[in-house]
Amino acid sequence: MKTLLYAICLWGMLFSARLVTAAEVTARLVQSGNGNGKERIPPAAIWLKPLQGKVDFPPSSNFTLLQKNKMFHPHLLVVPVGSTVSFPNADPFFHNVFSMFDGRRFDLGLYEAGSTRTVAFTREGISYIFCNIHPDMSAVVLSLVTPYYAVADASNNFHIADVPEGDYELHAWVEGRRGEKPPRRIHVSQGSTNLGDIETGQREEPQNHLNKFGKPYDASHPSY
């Protein structure tokens, strides 16, 4: 009985300590330059890499990138390294998901309505996802070696909960923006840390992507 009480007290102390030292990190995504405010702010994500200590990394998890109405849902998906992503086809026609990931292509092949394919993301990096049949379909998967990340919400705000106090390297990625934003060092304090505004950066000129064979899509063949 004494052993049980001791274990309960110890767990309570550790849990209380985590509540005290864990913080919420917030930031806001804003348009760079002298925009007129009418341009849509693109999808974006931020993440924190601890500069000291070992990351309390979550176990591998399963995520879903749904194909429906000739679109990927969600468009931007962030996953911890080691996670598996499912690509179910909820459309009444075929899809063929493919991607270049760190210079390595994966191709899930042609698969029918109601079926699914999976991919394990075992390395850190940015994976641009396309369909070899429907050129307008695109998505992005960020696989990270940290559990402290957030995707900008509908109001262009970021929220990262339960971040331990300490020093971190802040990374940001914004779709369709030129170059990578250089990381910067930040300190997370108890309670709440506001990182202020994160600018979107200079917009790249959009280009049509190629199919999985490295060639332009054939406009003479309809995409169903």
CB neighbours of residue 94 within 10 Å: 17
What's the predicted TM-score (pTM) here? Answer: 0.84
CB neighbours of residue 145 within 10 Å: 13
Q: Which amino acid is at 2?
A: K
Q: Collect all residues with Cβ–Cβ distance below 8 Å to 55 and sequence separation of at least 6.
A: 49, 145, 146, 147
pLDDT in tens, the chain (224 residues): 444 444 444 444 444 444 447 899 999 999 987 555 567 889 999 999 999 877 877 767 889 999 999 999 999 999 999 899 999 999 999 999 999 776 668 999 999 999 999 999 988 999 999 999 999 999 999 999 999 999 999 999 999 999 999 999 999 999 988 666 789 999 999 899 999 999 998 887 778 899 999 999 987 665 56
| 24-199, CATH topology level | Immunoglobulin-like (2.60.40)
- With CA atoms as reference, report the closest residue to 56 among 144, 123, 147: 147
Q: Is the CB of residue 74 less than 8 Å from the CB of residue 141?
A: no
Q: Is the CB of residue 141 less than 8 Å from the CB of residue 45?
A: no
